[in-house]
Amino acid sequence: MTVYAIIGGTGLTQLDGLSMKALLHPDTPYGSPSAGIVQGEYAGQDVLFLARHGHPHRIPPHQVNYRANLWALKHAGAQAVIAVNAVGGIHPAMGSGHLVVPHQLIDYSHGRIGTFFEGDLDHVTHIDFSHPYDDGLRAKLLAGLRACDYPHSDFGVYACTQGPRLETVAEIARLERDGCDIVGMTGMPEAALARELDLPYACLSLVVNPAAGKSEGIITMAEIEAALDEGIGKVRDVLAHVLKH
């Protein structure tokens, strides 16, 4: 049975219903992970859970220690990673509350340490990253969404921006011209680091607001929090289905 690691993003700093067996605080060659790794049982299956932004939510996306997080999960026994992300919707079908399983991504972040392959190396390593998300894991997430009968999209190009500020209207227009469907701040380098560790990786993205310029008025935290409150229960249902099946 595959041991899944779930990385919780904004709105999912803890996984309700997770029965904790141990709380791991591993030391890594890259520093400390964002929080302790919860080793427990969810939906009757062994699972590892890590809050990407810490618990409580305190680490901004550009300061997350992505290398420590992924290394710690791998060495705790993770065999696959499901990442949960709160995102803005660019594609007209991807409004607040919509769930997306992205199939591609474009990295617009900068200054983040994005590889394990640096320093005093014996040789240079170039991973293939043509398709950043694992097809098998994406299929499991989509099966869960269909079983739960939640509105969702089985495609999506994820634009990863630097944050922590939200984007300008002109920036979103540029991302749309580039072919992006959703925008978030944590998709990279997380996906690439998982590939370097040979960990199957896929995202379940919850749209919590229309991106800048996609609705009237400004984006408010009240709007985002309301969408999170409404949508996180659906995320938990889908995760439970994936683990059970």
112 assigned to a ligand binding site: no
210 assigned to a ligand binding site: yes
Residue 45 to residue 42: CA distance in whole angstroms: 5
209 assigned to a ligand binding site: yes
212 assigned to a ligand binding site: no
146 assigned to a ligand binding site: no
Q: What is the mean pLDDT of residues 74-86?
A: 96
Fold of 4-113+130-244: Rossmann fold (3.40.50)
Confidence of residue 1 (pLDDT cuts 50, 70, 90): confident
Token representation of residue 111: 């200054």
Q: What is the mean pLDDT of residues 31-52?
A: 90
52 assigned to a ligand binding site: yes
Q: pLDDT above 90 covers what percent of the chain?
A: 71
Residue 88 to residue 94: CA distance in whole angstroms: 8
Task: Provide the whole-model pTM.
Answer: 0.93
Confidence of residue 52 (pLDDT cuts 50, 70, 90): very high
Confidence of residue 72 (pLDDT cuts 50, 70, 90): very high
What is the per-residue pLDDT across 190-215, written as a single tens digit (0 to 9) for each? 999 999 999 999 999 999 999 999 98
Chain centre to alpha carbon of residue 171 = 22
Give 3-state DSSP helix, strand, coil % of the chain, rounded to 5.
Answer: 25, 25, 50
Q: What is the mean pLDDT of residues 173-177?
A: 98
Q: Is the peptide bond before 56 cis (omega within 30 degrees of 0)?
A: yes
Buried b (16+ CB within 10 A) or exposed e, 191-217: bbbbbbbebbbbbbbbbbbbbbbbeee
Kindly tell me if the per-residue pLDDT of 229 is higher than 90.
no
Q: Where are the beta strands (DSSP E) in the chain?
A: 4-8, 19-24, 37-42, 45-51, 80-89, 99-100, 104-107, 152-153, 157-160, 182-184, 201-210
Q: What is the mean pLDDT of residues 29-44?
A: 90
- Domain ranges within the chain, ordered by starting residue: 4-113+130-244
> What secondary structure does DSSP assign to 110-157, as a single string?
-S----S--SS-SS------SS-S-HHHHHHHHHHHHHHT--EES--E
pLDDT at 119: 78
What is the per-residue pLDDT across 18-32, written as a single tens digit (0 to 9) for each? 788 888 998 899 999
Sign of CA dihedral 64, 114, 110, 171: negative
Nearest in space to 11 (alpha carbons), one of 236, 189, 237:
236
Buried b (16+ CB within 10 A) or exposed e, 45-57: bebbbbbbbebeb
